[in-house]
Amino acid sequence: MSESMPAPGALLTDHYQLTMIDAYLARDMRDEAVFEFFVRRLPDCRSFLMAAGLEQLLDYLEELHFTAEEIEWLASTGHFSSRLTNYLADFRFRGEVRAMAEGTLVFENEPLVQVTASLPEAQLIESRLINLLNFQTMIASKAARSVLAQPGKLLVDFGMRRAHGAEAGLLAARASYIAGFAGTATLLAASKFGIPSYGTMAHSFVQAHDAEIDALEHFARCFPDKTVLLIDTYDAPAAAIAVAELAVRLREEGIRIGGVRIDSGDLAQLAAEVRQVLDANGGEELIIFASGNLDEYALAEDFRDSPVDGYGIGTRLDVSADAPYLDCAYKLQEYAGRARRKVSAGKETWPGRKQVFRRRDPTGRLQGDVVAVEDDTQGGEPLLSAVMRNGKRLAVSPPLEVIRKRAAVQLDSLPPALREPRARGTYPVEIAASLRALAAAVDRAHR
């Protein structure tokens, strides 16, 4: 199935974008504008972020247009002039986009995306651009922390039900897969993005049967190839013994049970107990899968030497519970050839078109970044490159597997001080002399 999502339409924007454009048009302010999307400050509980969401942004920019019905509705509100509605009726995004590749590690004040377009165009896209980049970057960052906490373990996104709406559930699956999750429970993500889907049974399945072991045997017979059985509806250790015995019995019929899932109580303690009774009853080959209120803190702390083989990570991942938003912004950096700067208290921005240069040690480990004006000749790897021109992608987007591999390489290069969930190390992000000089020049010009 196609990768595109049901588009929410061009009206998914803020009222003020249209009033501003209306006023820009009144003065024919259509010169070239440069906006950049960046995170002002990382949340206190994050030592790195992972860029994600560019693919959906480019989809949005390529498809963005107003239907006749939408134009009619806008006109009917009485808020906007016919000058505006005429402009929007023909609107297509024709700008240029430079961006960090998805899966790239990113830090404060570093532009992830730079948009160059006529002022009204660049303005119109602000709200949805932030909406797309904030969410997936936040989720990929959160998911990467679980990957670092349990390297090599099977991690599955279980969070759609408590994600904030349909799109959040869908895109959380994508972002966590990029970060290194093995898959998701969300079938729509499997069909749209080709992400492996996982899932077996809920407590209701067991409850709907009169006897627990009857429910489990019935399910194993329906799915004879290594299914995972939920054992904590009533008494998990007792059910584990029954499943171990069932596995031995069904093996003779060619039916293989894959393992057991526990979803409530003190999961780490229960897992140890379940491992013991499985092993003592012929269930050595059965894996243990744990789910229920898990996140990277639990994975790193409660399950450090746990016999658990795989984890379902749900709600706290899909809502990024400890940091449910990023302090991110999309700001005007240049208009009509002149660098611009906002100086509001606590929200000052660095002006102008920028590039991020990354330095690594000889082993490839990240050493520090420099944020500079775009044509600065800093050493290091430049992280932003052109991905869209004249409103069209410059290349076919990379498959999700490629992005996922890039993300894994990026995580490998993360300094040790930033890898633990409670790490408070700060990655060095230097503002280049070239950028400081530009900021000073802008300030002088404004005074």
Cα gap 380→357, rounded to integer Å: 5
Which tokens is 435 given? 């950028």
x/- string (CB under 8 A) for a copy of itself, residues 229-268?
---xxx----------------------------xxxx--
Q: Which of residues 54-73 bind a copy of itself (CB under 8 A)?
A: 69-70, 73
Nearer Cβ to a copy of itself, position 173 or 411? 173
User: In 3D, which of 8, 5, 22, 20 has the Cα closest to residue 70?
Assistant: 8
Q: Which of residues 27-56 bind a copy of itself (CB under 8 A)?
A: 27, 29, 33, 35
Q: Which of residues 100-119 bind a copy of itself (CB under 8 A)?
A: 119
Asked whether position 175 contacts a copy of itself by CB under 8 A, the answer is no
Which tokens is 206 given? 């067991």
**Minimum gap (Å) between residue 330 Cβ and a copy of itself:** 8
Chain centroid to CA 237: 37
Cβ pair 111, 78 in contact under 8 A = no
Read off the DSSP letter of residue 314: -
Figure out which of the listed residues 68, 345, 395, 396 binds a copy of itself, where binding follows CB under 8 A: 345
Figure out which of the listed residues 52, 168, 240, 400 binds a copy of itself, where binding follows CB under 8 A: 168
The count of chain residues that interact with a copy of itself, using the rule CB under 8 A, is: 104
**Minimum gap (Å) between residue 278 Cβ and a copy of itself:** 19
Nearer Cβ to a copy of itself, position 373 or 414? 373
| Other beta carbons less than 10 A from residue 263's beta carbon | 22
Query: Strand runs (DSSP E) across 16-95, as ranges?
Result: 32-41, 49-50
Cα gap 335→97, rounded to integer Å: 16
Reported as type and span, the H/E element at residue 145 is helix 126-149
**Minimum gap (Å) between residue 253 Cβ and a copy of itself:** 16
Q: Which of residues 72-91 bind a copy of itself (CB under 8 A)?
A: 73-74, 77, 79, 81
Figure out which of the listed residues 3, 167, 279, 430 binds a copy of itself, where binding follows CB under 8 A: 167
Read off the DSSP letter of residue 197: B
